């Protein structure tokens, strides 16, 4: 089974505004309310690709109730941990103004609710895949991801980490199966400016040297690259298309890559075709960027075929 964890899920209010004016009343031209939170995004795209999975997430208040309802209505298995205080986030995304967005803080997660999550994770079995994605509330220590890996490290569980800074670096000693920083995050980790693909590859390999088994680097319009478990490098330009909404593109890439590593029964392959998994991941990420919502299976497969089966 594939599990995703989202500490800070949200409802994303996506707006289109013709001419945003500061200190004025602005009216939206279009609006839509979508599920948000990186782990839930990954679960959604995995479900679209036919991969059974379980979303574990925290939810608080009436917004949390709506998040739980939408996850259930979409057909994703879920284990919701209810918080008594606060509200799950509402994030405002202004789609047509250079990715402008305002993200909420999210509720505090008390220690007993963290313990509840950790107890759930003790039930995972050999062969399961666990995906940790996204930010954590400010009330939590930046060791929480590594604390989780410490708990599951006694079993044969493949862990995927899509996080930034110390949250990511703290997990590397546990040799996660996959990490997915983007180019900017890679620069922040090593405090460097990466001006060419060769330097990006070099620093991606440094993350492998520290502990990651596979390092997937997204580079927005410049495509992506993968330093695989055997240090072989796969790279590709981004598939051609018009970017409509980049929110969730990175999460979709993670979902596509993981799906590409599994068989039809949702079991991780012993002999992974990393080239295929990498290309499916990039196709999934791009297909979501070319759509107003997260990409469907049809959109992902069509883009894959158009790009790689010419």
CB–CB of 10/67 below 8 Å? yes
CA 68 to chain centre: 18
Which segments within the chain are labelled E, that is strand?
2-6, 10-16, 30-36, 53-60, 77-83, 89-94, 100-102, 129-133, 158-162, 178-179, 214-218, 224-227, 233-236
Is 98 one of the catalytic residues?
Answer: no
Task: Specify burial of residue 148 (Cβ count, 10 A radius: 0-12, 13-18, 19+).
Answer: buried
**How far is it, in rounded angstroms, from Cα 231 to Cα 63?**
44
CB–CB of 218/183 below 8 Å? yes
* CB atoms inside a 10 Å sphere around CB 35: 24
Residue 32's SS3 state is: strand
Residue 45 to residues 50, 254, 258: CA-CA distances in angstroms? 9, 9, 11
Tell me the H-state helices in the chain: 38-48, 61-74, 111-121, 144-152, 165-169, 183-190, 197-210, 249-260, 274-289, 297-308
The residue annotated as part of the active site, out of 196, 230, 251, 264, is: 251
In degrees and rounded to multiples of 5, residue 193 shows phi and psi of -110, 120
Strand partners, 92: 13, 102
**How far is it, in rounded angstroms, from Cα 36 to Cα 88?**
10
Active site residues per annotation:
251
């Amino acid at each position: 089974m594939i599990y995703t964890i989202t500490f800070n899920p949200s409802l994303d209010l996506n707006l289109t505004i013709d001419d945003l004016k500061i200190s004025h009343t602005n009216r939206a031209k279009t609006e839509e309310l979508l599920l948000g939170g990186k782990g839930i995004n990954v679960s959604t795209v995995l479900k679209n690709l036919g991969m059974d999975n379980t979303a574990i997430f925290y939810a608080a208040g009436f917004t949390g109730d709506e998040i739980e309802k939408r996850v259930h209505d979409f057909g994703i298995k879920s284990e919701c941990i209810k918080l008594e205080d606060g509200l799950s986030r509402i994030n405002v995304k202004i789609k047509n103004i250079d990715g402008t967005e305002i993200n909420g803080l999210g509720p505090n997660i008390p220690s007993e609710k963290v313990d509840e999550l950790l107890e759930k994770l003790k039930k995972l079995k050999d062969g399961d895949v666990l995906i940790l994605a996204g930010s954590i509330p400010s009330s939590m220590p930046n060791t929480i991801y590594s604390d989780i890996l410490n708990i599951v490290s006694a079993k044969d569980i493949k862990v995927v980490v899509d996080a930034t800074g110390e949250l990511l670096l703290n997990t590397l000693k546990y040799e996660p199966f996959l990490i997915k920083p983007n180019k900017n995050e890679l620069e922040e980790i090593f405090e460097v400016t990466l001006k060419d693909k060769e330097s990006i590859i070099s620093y991606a390999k440094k993350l492998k040297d520290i502990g990651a088994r596979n390092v997937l680097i997204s580079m927005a319009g410049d495509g992506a690259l993968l330093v695989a478990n055997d240090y072989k490098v796969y790279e590709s330009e981004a598939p051609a298309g018009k970017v409509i909404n980049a929110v969730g593109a990175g999460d979709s890439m993670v979902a596509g890559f993981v799906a590409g590593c599994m068989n039809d029964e949702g079991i991780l392959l012993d002999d992974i075709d990393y080239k295929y998994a990498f290309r499916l991941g990039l196709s999934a990420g791009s297909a979501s960027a070319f759509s107003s919502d997260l990409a469907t299976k049809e959109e992902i497969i069509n883009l894959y075929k158009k790009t790689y089966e010419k």
